[in-house]
Amino acid sequence: VFDAGASQEDVFEGSGMRQLVELAIDGFSCTVFAFGQTGSGKTYTLMGPLAQSETQPASPALLGLMQRSFACLLEQSQSRGSDLALSASYLEIYNEQVRDLLSPGPPCTLPLRWSKTRGFYVENQLSVDFESLDAIVSLLLQGSQRRRTSAHALNRHSSRSHALLTIHIRSRAVSAHPAAGEGLGGPGTCSSKQGTLCFVDLAGSERVKETGSSGELSVEANSINRSLLALAGHCISLLAKPRGKRTHIPYRDSKLTRLLARSLGGSGITLMVACISPSSRCLSETLSTLHYACRARRVTTRP
């Protein structure tokens, strides 16, 4: 548990993010998602205060889990001697429509498919290769500026979509020892792995009466709340039960739960960051967030 005085570095080191990065390099599918009421600090915890442009970067002390994880990923690859191929994709789910935040031109809706080998996946999404911290931070800034936001009574810059940034990691480790049958100067053995590190910035749960939303904002809020209910109220609640007492997990209830199906109940390793407000006005939503966080702690996967 982190109080209001905790620094971004405290959260990164104390949440287990460094270990999650290492597991992703080792070939596991890892996910971190921030959950909580609108205005509770989800986007700030993940990204910090985003730079206004590439020439005006944010203060290093304020960088969020994402930028710190990117730096850790690149540092780990160098220290391990691994040959990493890195790429990133960045999507948003807005009113149950999946959009590519890195694709040039106006945003277009992408189809969500399912196959036995891949599970749920987004067809035709753009994946961009990168090799440096500056390059991936630039992609984060580019995509985040295209994300849907609006102002209401609880948040001047409220995210109106769920955003998923996924780092695809293909690693090839070369052993310093020659393979059997090779001479002393022969090449070492190679082993390859494929892992992912996915960051999910959920739109905030909110009560329409408290935000003063109407018209399009009200439609957005209802869509957000339905998908969050499918995630926390249905899927996580059922997954928290002992395996023998579980009924069908309704992943198909929303696009969000379809894309998180492997992270929640499959072979992935997942970290949930529950963000709450100290305001007494938000007590009901705070208790709800803590309730779902307690349930999420009981969910187990099989990496």
Binding residues for ATP: 36-43
CA angle 42, 195, 127 (to 5 degrees): 75
Q: Which of 295, 296, 219, 285 is nearest to 36 (CA)?
A: 285
Burial group, residue 248, by CB count within 10 angstroms (0-12, 13-18, 19+):
exposed
The Cβ-side half-sphere exposure at 275, using a 13 Å CA radius, reads 22
Name residue 30's amino acid. C
How, if at all, do strands 82-94 and 162-178 pair? Answer: antiparallel
| Tokens describing residue 117 | 């080998």
Please enumerate in sequence order all residues whose Cβ is within 8 A of that of 156, keeping only pairs 6 or more positions apart, or say none: none
Q: Are 230 and 252 in contact (CB under 8 A)?
A: no
77: part of which helix (H) or strand (E)? helix 65-80
CA distances from 109 to 94, 124, 173 (A): 10, 10, 38
How, if at all, do strands 112-115 and 97-100 pair? Answer: unpaired
